[in-house]
Amino acid sequence: MAASPTNEHPPPTETLTQSTNGHDSITDHNQPEPQPSDAALTDEITSSGKRKREEDQYQNQEDPAANPLWKTSLCSFFRRQSGSCSHGSTCRYAHGEEELRPRPDNTWDPTSERAKKVLKKSEDGDKCGAAAASSEVMMTEIVVGDEDEDGGDGSDPELSKCLVHLPRNWRSETLKRFLSEQGISFKSAKKKKGMTVGFVSFESVEQLKSSVEELEGKSIGNRSVKVADVIPRSFEKKTKPIITNPQNDQEADKPEVSGDDGTISVLANGTQNADGNEDNSTPNGVASSGRSARDVVTPLAHMAYSDQLEQKKSSIMQILKRLTRNARKACPNGVSLPEWILKSREIGGLPCNLEGILPSPLVNGYRNKCEFSVGYSLQGQITVGFMLGNFREGVTAVEEPVDCPNVSAIACKYASIFQEFLQHSDLPVWNRFKNTGFWRQLTVREGRRPETSAYSENSEASVAEVMLMVQVSTTGIDDALISSEFENMAQAFAAGAATSSSSLPLTALVVQDHQGISNVAPADAPLRQLQITKAADIPETEANQDIVEPRIHDYISNLRFCISPTAFFQVNSLAAEKLYSLAGDWAGLDPETLLFDICCGTGTIGLTLAHRVGMVVGVEMNASAISDARRNAEINGIKNCRFVCGKAEDVMGSLLKEYVSAFQQQDEIQKTERNDEASSISEGKDALMDNAEDPERSSSHSAGNITEPGEGSSHEFQNVNMTSECLDSGLQEPDNQLQSNCNSENGNPPVERFKNVVAIVDPPRGGLHPTVIKTLRTHPLLRRLVYISCNPESLVANAIELCTPSAEKIEKGNKNNRGWRNLSAAGLARHRAKSMPISEPFQPVKSMAVDLFPHTVHCELVMLLER
């Protein structure tokens, strides 16, 4: 749906009980309260006669789905008869919430959960708006007025106001037009597309007063405008070069959601919650708004850890039940419900047992990676810490990471060293509203010592290495100035580390140059390593004089892992160890197993399980992470792993085909051996070896040109042999040693050993690409799949596609049907399940939560799927 003043989608929320993919939250803050008369469209249609007439009316249309009222009301038969309706998929009414579409006036069936949510949001919004109106919007960057000569802001913050509840798709021009149409005099007006707030400045107190009176409560669409103060009310202006980075306004629409590692640098769903207290500072970082970095970053910190675990477990149970409900709904007519759905009634509707939740060995200071925003505090001070809310709602205030129990003491110290440095820097901090400035973000990554990886609450003592990555935007800034600032920064970090009460490790300092609007930089954003001036007090081993590449190390299951600046690594290493070993136990591994580690990052899962399988094939799209994975295999002396750089959706089909072919080949050989008693087993093996050694067949290829299914079989033996396979990515390692690490351990053709094919998938928050799901589901030899997810919602959505029984006849997808935009993740998955090629479905066998993120709502979920 296109955004319009009356049709705006709220940002995804971060709670476990609501979708984080945005689909479930496609509700409208600005929707009017559903009118009682709307109910006539559902509950009053109870007489079969009336209903029949309406049904006929729809059925006679060529494309009933084109009717604007199609599926805009819930089917009362379906609801009353617990999920059955004689009209099946041709019913014009929605069978459940997932099928429900919005009405032409953008309202929802008033009996639906969505309508109730909208109503609640609108009530909450009014409360929140009232609070905002009486107080302030936490936009701590100067946004009003035009820039003056010295690069500062031309407006007096005392003569500036913030307008709340504006349509998201408005820009400055729209706001100016609106104000002019209302006869409002103003000095300047700014509004960024994507935000719900705008900023207006006035020429005089009189002008401000009369305009505020005129504007307060004015209706735009179905929302009332609220007028709020801009904070901070006064800025200590600094004369700094202002460098403009012209950006596409639309980028502001990009959601700033938490990362796969539960990244805590950016927030979702922040709302203004000011209490009007003018003196808005307290020493412990609690803002006048009543909101602190601790509340925002660790919302469960006020609860006992055992209660946090209970809460997460019950949230996950609710999400898991969606798998059963949706697979039941998606089960094609005439196909019997699978056993696991029938049995789900015995376990409260769960698709399989949730066996519990594994607690994190470390509950405080467990994060080995923190991303700190750079911005202004509510007092207008340059601050390095966490944002107190969502930029879209006008919040840019950054507060120090005080009292956030998941952040390590070391990370806090580096944030504070950087803050001190920035307060004296000649270059400006990044202004999110204007997309100008230089300093943007600080990432602190820690690597632990092996011997202190024991479960200890003193995590600081176990940290041996620290890598700092500072994100900047260099556009338009003089190179000499940049170099001198970097030099000063390196000195500041080195001195700060050395003079800290217990000297801090400092292994590598990297600068990432990023011009985009959101701080989430692409993997290929330029990196530059800075030399750290060795301070006298830092022991030789901890200074970085000889470091060629910026990397740190951590240990999981007694293996050493090398981590480069942008590679993914679980933020809670000790809990990750538990996660991986659980996945390994459930995967049913043995020396005859070929293990696919899909979305393998630095190879952690595959490498920690390599000793339990015949061979590991890891797939990962981040080139640095793959390079780390190969190095990690090497430094740990692991030789039965192959790491492929590429998107899983691009390479999995080819990889599986290679191994399917290998199996088929093996079967044929075995059949020949059985049929021909005269031929010896060794002859069969020799033939295999001969083929494997055929140079025509064993030439290596890169991931970029991995053969697509059906492209010929010349790679079959070569891939089985694996003699030169490990370098099959665009990123060729020059080191021959690495190549040898990927050979089979004893030189025998590994095809003999791989009786089982198992996949462990650990995708990013959005889940697996549909192509990967299809590839895994339709691979006949893949009998077991362990799904690890940091987002149980996407695990459930993917599992719907993996576990729903096939229809007898496959529905062809309608490519022109844009109705999918209104579907929830589960609804979309059901829709896709219909066009899944006929194949044996998986069954959910068991699941377990693993808490990698104490004090937050996030949690990992592991599910075993078998067939």
Ligand X SMILES: C[S@@+](CC[C@H](N)C(=O)[O-])C[C@H]1O[C@@H](n2cnc3c(N)ncnc32)[C@H](O)[C@@H]1O
Binding site for ligand X (CB under 6 A): 260, 568-570, 599-602, 604-605, 619-622, 625, 647-649, 762-764, 769, 790
> To which H or E segment does residue 827 belong?
helix 825-834
Q: How far apart are the first and last CA of the chain?
A: 39
Q: Is 786 helix (H, G, I), strand (E, B) or coil?
A: strand
Residue nearest to ligand X (CB): 601
153 annotated to a ligand binding site: no
- 570 marked as part of a ligand binding site: yes
Comparing CB distances to ligand X, the nearer of 215 and 788 is 788
Residue ranges of alpha helices (H) inside 331-463 are 339-343, 409-422
Q: Are 519 and 440 in contact (CB under 8 A)?
A: yes
Smallest gap from residue 569 Cβ to ligand X (A)? 6
State the nearest-atom distance from the C-beta of 74 to ligand X, in Å: 36
Q: What is the largest CA-CA distance in the chain?
A: 106
- Looking at the Cβ atoms of 141 and 620, the one nearer to ligand X is 620
- Strand order of the β-sheet with 527-530 is 398-399, 382-387, 369-376, 439-448, 463-472, 508-513, 527-530
Nearer to ligand X, 269 or 564 (CB): 564
Is residue 478 annotated as involved in ligand binding? no
CB closer to ligand X, 493 vs 596? 596
Pairing label, strands 860-866, 756-761:
unpaired
CB of 595 to ligand X, least distance (A): 12
Give me the least distance between CB of 801 and ligand X, in Å please.
Answer: 16
- Closest by alpha carbon to 13, among 309, 217, 269, 366? 269
The CA-CA-CA angle for residues 299, 304, 309, to 5°, reads 80
401 in Cβ contact with 472 (< 8 Å): no
Write out the two tokens for 443.
């990432």
Q: Which residues are catalytic?
A: 790
**Shortest distance in whole angstroms from residue 649 CB to ligand X:** 6
Which stretch of DSSP H or E encloses residue 575? helix 573-586
CB nearer ligand X, residue 765 or residue 855: 765
To the nearest whole angstrom, how small is the minimum distance from the Cβ of residue 766 to ligand X? 8
Pairing of the two strands 615-620 and 593-598? parallel
Asked whether the bond before 104 is cis by omega within 30 degrees of 0, the reply is no
Amino acid identity for residue 717 in this structure: F
Tokens linked to 836: 């899944």
Closer of 338 and 603 to ligand X (Cβ): 603
Judged by beta carbon, residue 438 or residue 568, the one nearer ligand X is 568
What's the CA gap between 784 and 774, in Å, rounded? Answer: 15
Q: Give least dist CB 594 to ligand X, A.
A: 17
Distance CA 178, CA 493 (A): 49
Q: Which residues, other chains included, contact 99 with Cβ-Cβ below 8 Å and sequence gap of 6+? A: 71, 827
Tokens, residue 325: 């409900």
Q: Which residues are annotated as a binding site?
A: 570, 620, 762
Q: Which residues are annotated as a binding site for S-adenosyl-L-methionine?
A: 570, 620, 762
